[in-house]
Amino acid sequence: MTSVEYAICNVQGNIFEYVANHYIYDTFVAFVPAYLHSDFCKRQWDTQYSRYQMHTPEENLDFIRPELTNLPWTEAKEDDQVFDNAAAHWIGFMYRALYIQTGVSSAILADKIPLSTMRAVYPGLHTIAEEDAVQELKKQV
């Protein structure tokens, strides 16, 4: 993976981490498949270049949220359960790395490797090199 591709994966990881950190657990769980199936993701992320690939999570969410109007965008309070930030970042990173390595759309990746699978493999795969984790996940595509 080139340094630019790595940076793009990191930005998507940052988006996932931001949502996991700022919204309740249920919002994150609903966000992942909705985002990966969204027209925004198809237009701006499943492409060779988009300015959004280098924007902050907040800038991306300004455009993502209006498309995902059916999500429970409930902001987390101090005592609310949220999704683990490190896992959320890794999941976002891996979905983008898989797209880069396979060319398979995010929507199809979300169907073939749902969030439940990413959560299940996270404990083992997040401890190895990203390239090796991508090779393992590609077997499911």
pLDDT tens for each residue of 96-105: 999 999 999 9
Split into its structural domains, the chain has a count of: 1
Neighbouring residues of 8: CB distance < 8 A, sequence distance ≥ 6: 53, 54, 96, 100
pLDDT tens for each residue of 25-56: 999 999 999 999 999 999 999 998 899 999 99
Full domain range(s) for residue 103: 3-138
∠ Cα 127 120 93 (to 5°):
55
Is the predicted pLDDT of residue 128 greater than 90, yes or no? Answer: yes
> Whole-model pTM?
0.94
Is the predicted pLDDT of residue 123 greater than 90, yes or no? Answer: yes
Bridge partners (DSSP) of residue 23 are 75
